[in-house]
């Protein structure tokens, strides 16, 4: 089983965030940045970690962060198959 599939089965979903920030050398200008990562709702540890990184390491101050989250595999959409029968 792939790492991504295992994460999805453990409740992780895809989080997409739009960051609106001010340009470091021209504070009157706004710029956007889009970020995607697998994350766990409702705590969003990866999103919080990236926001902390941005605030500590990057010069462009954040104006706003908007995000959406979607689980990619719901509980009823996955089942384990142990065998396969081929009919020829």
Secondary structure letter of residue 11 according to DSSP? T
Number of domain units in the chain: 1
**Dihedral (CA of 18, 24, 25, 27) sign:** positive
The whole-number pLDDT of residue 6 equals 84
Domain that holds residue 13: 3-74
pLDDT tens per residue across all 88 residues of the chain? 788 888 888 889 999 999 999 999 999 999 999 999 999 999 999 999 999 999 999 999 999 999 999 987 765 666 666 776 777 6
Q: For residue 80, is it within any domain?
A: no
The whole-number pLDDT of residue 81 equals 67
CA-CA-CA-CA dihedral for 70, 74, 80, 81, to nearest 10: -90
How many CB atoms lie under 10 A from the CB of residue 19?
20
The whole-number pLDDT of residue 73 equals 74
């Amino acid at each position: 089983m792939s790492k991504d599939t295992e994460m999805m089965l453990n409740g992780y979903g895809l989080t997409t965030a739009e960051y609106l920030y001010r340009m470091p050398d021209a504070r009157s200008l706004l710029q956007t940045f889009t970020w995607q990562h697998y994350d766990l709702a409702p705590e969003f540890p990866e999103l919080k970690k990236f926001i902390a990184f941005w605030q500590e390491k990057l010069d462009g101050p954040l104006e706003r962060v908007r995000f959406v989250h979607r689980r990619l595999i719901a509980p009823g959409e996955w089942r384990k198959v142990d065998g396969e029968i081929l009919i020829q």
